[in-house]
Structure 1
């Protein structure tokens, strides 16, 4: 039996009342999070060094600080590996290093953060069982790790222990890595997949292996996509929900358990915002409600049962939610102040509440009384003129804007625009006069909502 460590120098009361997580990422039986002060914390299973706290052999049932740095801006927890980016754009990794997926030129696991290369323009990372993908601020796509099934997308089946560039495109805006397949979105809102497609997870109408990024259909209205273990969940700009791939536990949400090799629309709702996929799925609607479906053997869907769900259902007790994260067998949800709820498996302390007790329904774990986000954007974000005739300038003096979403007062998504710059212009001149909401996502994961008026 693995030993367990309860971090008692920080009381559970402190965690319940003072933890503001700017970014939280659930991995395979462990969790990594960035606090609002830029410090990095971890909890849960540590068997491969993935907590980043050195040669410790015990699990951590409560958050433990990783080092002393306070300049972390991005973190991603994968399959026993972690990737984090600092505010200076440098990339760091630790944990399991199968096939060289840490990117340091070795296959040796690391139990503390090590810098990967010297580049200072990393934007985001996604990783899973054996490979890692990353996007730089110039929109270029990079990959490293296992490649036996072509999942790196470099046209070969050769493993890489350091990052290699994939293609020449400079307009990649998001990447999500499944067990052996990947889905990426480009600035023109097209979707691309590659890797293993044996269960239809590439969405290309076939079951084969592809070792270069290949477009999914011809649609140019994809707003979001996330890769589960062997399936994909995606949202279009009109707010509709689509899935494809492996479906044995109802992961696709189409009320069946049959695999699908091409995208299928789930229901008719047009208010889906984004999702997080693993073997179970958590999805957000524009009204802040959380919906779940798929595998549910450890209460990871939060409905007090262990019954798999083959269609999306609303998870009770969660409102005003803006972020969700789906670990292997557990889940987190955060509201607009970054107060955090957890549910599902807790055998390794991955929920971080100081216990190893499973949570069958969403349970308040960390109450944040402040913003819980890097609120520097609030003081330096300008929207002008406002009111206007429909042309709005969005300008940030510090953090680059990642994307802007425009909603009507009923919560319907009207416009989604990728930015990746510090300023942008949104054209709403074709919309009726009235009040609208602009949701601004920043590169440091902060989010701000502004009221705008068309006169």
Structure 2
């Protein structure tokens, strides 16, 4: 057996070079082994934490069902959606979204996170009702066993429970409001859209750099933006754009009027701005911007005329984000024309800002500089144009208020408090522009009411309806985006539709042959038809 000798190697012709090479090789091998061990350890930790977080999601779903069961004969119980901390597990959970399904079950989106926020997941989970009559005994664990109702005439109770096997991760599409897999659009605003790969596209007017391609040249068709970043949400106004990436980071570009981007100056390309915390959602309007972070905290910056940001600041505008209502947590915010609404994690609705026409729903016409609760109804979603507001409560009922004809209650009267719209459907989401309101039912039907002179309903007419009217029969819709530039709707197959005038801001289609009719937009150049629906 030959014994290795450093002296022999050093004395050889290549001497030092060989020793150096062997030493470097040894270091590389040791480093690779170390990295492998570290990676394996990190992966093991991630797997364990994911299991713990998933268990926390199931526990929160069971708690939600248990709260519903505190009254087996009433549907009036509203479980808490707020952040809850479990000292035993060291994990916190928040119900960030609540939907009512056609079969009356409820779908929750639960955010679970470790104390540091290093480990976090978002999961969708379902709780379902079972109609029962009486307890027949107890199982081995001591829990009551209920008898199922034999028919609809029996004296019954509704018992809620976690649906086993219903926990699963949110897909990128679901983060943006869509659940089907295909190569198509998953969410859109009037000038931006995200495809099913998470890529961002922009088009339209670009005088302020709001397109995001580094120029000020308008584009009649979509152009790809920051292809290395994956996105899940976009919002726009006439001169600026906002997008949330898959990690919750906020990107901003365009005009920085009144500091609405949260930057020192505007930008012609997407840059990080506004807030440094991971966020759930963002809303902008009339140069004011709001964002809800991953912990449910509400932040505001931009235009602050008459204290419209709700932070208590007297500054005319704010560049660095300030918290609104510290100590409260929220899951939804909408703003326009100086009026803002937010839903807290208990479902309570809060409003502040401009209120000269009673548009805040508080029953007064006095501006409000701090968040003020609107009634006692618990809400699941809301959108406003400032002049008109529409919201969906926890039971799926549609409420509306605002200037003349906004309420959808069959009248042309202004409403300074929320009223139930005249409809028997249940709903999931709403939207509004200055003169027209929209709502999507839980079955995916799109309804509209209010002004229709420009074909805003998309039903081929200009007839005005004072109650929600079915707008586009035969198409299942899942999302809406309405702003001062355009009205866009997303169907269940990822198709993007345009409503209203030909100057809608969406890329060109031939409106002349089908006036006042909703039209499905074409796909980006080079993307159709292969791989797109």
Tell me the TM-score normalized by structure 2.
0.60
Stretches (4+) displaced over 3 A: 305-309, 353-359, 366-373
Q: Aligned in 2, Cα 1:196/1:297: closer, same or farther, shift over 3 Å?
A: same
2:408 & 2:239 partners in 1: Cα distance? 27
Residue 359 of structure 1: how far off its partner (Å): 5.4
User: Which of residues 388, 401, 406 in structure 2 aligns to 1:244?
Assistant: 401
User: Which of residues 271, 290, 299 in structure 2 aligns to 1:133?
Assistant: 290
Residue 217 of structure 1: how far off its partner (Å): 1.4
Matches within 5 A, 1:5-404: 20-26=184-190, 31-58=191-218, 60-104=219-263, 106=264, 108-116=265-273, 119-158=276-315, 159-219=317-377, 221-247=378-404, 250-279=405-434, 280-328=436-484, 330-347=486-503, 350-353=505-508, 360-366=516-522
CA offsets 1:205-249 (integer angstroms, 9 cap, x no match): 100111111100123x212111123221111122221111222xx
Residue 296 of structure 1: how far off its partner (Å): 2.7
Residue 120 of structure 1: how far off its partner (Å): 4.3
What secondary structure is seen at the aligned counterpart in 2 of 1:360?
Answer: coil
Larger Rg: 2
Residue 271 of structure 1: how far off its partner (Å): 1.2
What secondary structure is seen at the aligned counterpart in 2 of 1:361?
Answer: coil
Q: Aligned in 2, Cα 1:372/1:246: closer, same or farther, shift over 3 Å?
A: farther
1:162 & 1:135 partners in 2: Cα distance? 15
Residue 300 of structure 1: how far off its partner (Å): 2.2
Residue 169 of structure 1: how far off its partner (Å): 2.8
2:387 & 2:348 partners in 1: Cα distance? 20
What secondary structure is seen at the aligned counterpart in 2 of 1:149?
Answer: helix
Structure 2: runs of 5+ lacking an equivalent: 1-181
Q: Aligned in 2, Cα 1:182/1:147: closer, same or farther, shift over 3 Å?
A: same
What secondary structure is seen at the aligned counterpart in 2 of 1:212?
Answer: strand
Q: Aligned in 2, Cα 1:130/1:147: closer, same or farther, shift over 3 Å?
A: same
- Whether the 8 Å contact between 1:149 and 1:180 is mirrored in structure 2 is no
1:127 & 1:299 partners in 2: Cα distance? 26
What secondary structure is seen at the aligned counterpart in 1 of 2:307?
Answer: coil
1:90 & 1:163 partners in 2: Cα distance? 14
User: Would you tell me which structure has more strand in proportion to its own residues?
Assistant: 1
1:370 & 1:309 partners in 2: Cα distance? 40
- Whether the 8 Å contact between 1:299 and 1:344 is mirrored in structure 2 is yes
Q: Aligned in 2, Cα 1:330/1:210: closer, same or farther, shift over 3 Å?
A: same
1:192 & 1:301 partners in 2: Cα distance? 29
Residue 291 of structure 1: how far off its partner (Å): 0.4
1:287 & 1:370 partners in 2: Cα distance? 30
2:476 & 2:251 partners in 1: Cα distance? 33
What secondary structure is seen at the aligned counterpart in 2 of 1:99?
Answer: helix
User: Would you tell me which structure has more helix in proportion to its own residues?
Assistant: 2
Residue 372 of structure 1: how far off its partner (Å): 8.5
Residue 366 of structure 1: how far off its partner (Å): 4.3
Structure 1: runs of 5+ lacking an equivalent: 1-17, 374-455
- Whether the 8 Å contact between 1:78 and 1:126 is mirrored in structure 2 is no
CA RMSD of aligned residues (A): 2.6
Residue 36 of structure 1: how far off its partner (Å): 1.1
- Whether the 8 Å contact between 2:284 and 2:334 is mirrored in structure 1 is yes
Residue 370 of structure 1: how far off its partner (Å): 11
- Whether the 8 Å contact between 2:476 and 2:491 is mirrored in structure 1 is yes
Tell me the TM-score normalized by structure 1.
0.70
What secondary structure is seen at the aligned counterpart in 2 of 1:69?
Answer: coil
Residue 302 of structure 1: how far off its partner (Å): 0.8
CA offsets 1:95-147 (integer angstroms, 9 cap, x no match): 2222111111x3x4322112116724122100011201100001000001111
CA offsets 1:318-375 (integer angstroms, 9 cap, x no match): 5221112223364222222212222222326x222466868521222247999989xx
Partner of 2:115: none
What secondary structure is seen at the aligned counterpart in 1 of 2:408?
Answer: coil
2:370 & 2:323 partners in 1: Cα distance? 12
